[in-house]
Amino acid sequence: MHTPEKILLLAILLAFAYPLVKRLLLEWAQPARMELLEIVKRIMNSPEYGPEEKCYVRTIADKALDWKETALIAALFPYFLALELLETGQNREIYARLSKDEDFQRLVDLEIRSSIAANPIAATVIFIEISAVLLVGMIFGAGLDFARKLFMGLLTRNLPNVPVPATNRGR
């Protein structure tokens, strides 16, 4: 079999396999998505969380269902990596506050599962990109903590700056 025939055969196999794999991943992710929605409802109805945290959580939940978000991160990985390494800001502060909460930690885990199912090709590319960064980080001694922070930063990278709630100061 010549190379063009191999490529054609591979393309045909992928054309049939991808929808099947995608469907299996969506079925795998459906319970996670339902649990994600329950956690979001609990957080939105809880007086323990402020408007900034609620906006942040809502944005994460919205992105969990969007296949374009995963593709965007995969395509612009070096850009997001540079931003993650250089940025300090409001989103980091909100994430630091929320990360102490078990519900939020579970929400992030479910968001990752949902994002993988939403776009498995882009998720595979991101996995390869993060693995390469992790390997370089381990060579230079940054270790696993760096990789976890990087991954979480990439997940929350495109979150809009959360609006600061209006106050009644001076009235």
Contact in structure between 56 and 94 (CB atoms under 8 Å): yes
User: How high is the pLDDT of residue 161?
Assistant: 46
Instruction: Name the packing angle between helices 3-45 and 120-139 (round to 10°).
Output: 90
pLDDT for 120-167, tens place per residue? 889 899 889 888 887 777 776 665 666 666 666 665 554 444 444 444
Q: Return the amino acid letter for 119.
A: N
CA distance 132 to 137: 9
Q: Which two tokens stand for residue 118?
A: 């939403």
Q: Is the pLDDT of residue 82 over 90?
A: no
User: How high is the pLDDT of residue 170?
Assistant: 41
Q: Is the pLDDT of residue 168 over 70?
A: no
pLDDT for 112-122, tens place per residue? 888 888 888 89
Mean pLDDT, rounded, for 67-81: 85
Mean pLDDT value across the chain? 78
Q: Return the amino acid letter for 147.
A: A
pLDDT more than 70, % of the chain:
76
User: How high is the pLDDT of residue 41?
Assistant: 93
CA distance 58 to 43: 9
Contact in structure between 90 and 66 (CB atoms under 8 Å): no
User: How high is the pLDDT of residue 31?
Assistant: 92
Q: What is the 3-state secondary structure (H, E, C) of 93-127?
A: HHHHHHCCCHHHHHHHHHHHHHHHHHCHHHHHHHH
Among 42, 78, 60, 72, CA closest to 152: 60
CA distance 37 to 21: 24
User: How high is the pLDDT of residue 45?
Assistant: 93
Q: Which residues contact 103 (CB under 8 A, 6 or more apart)?
A: 39, 42, 43
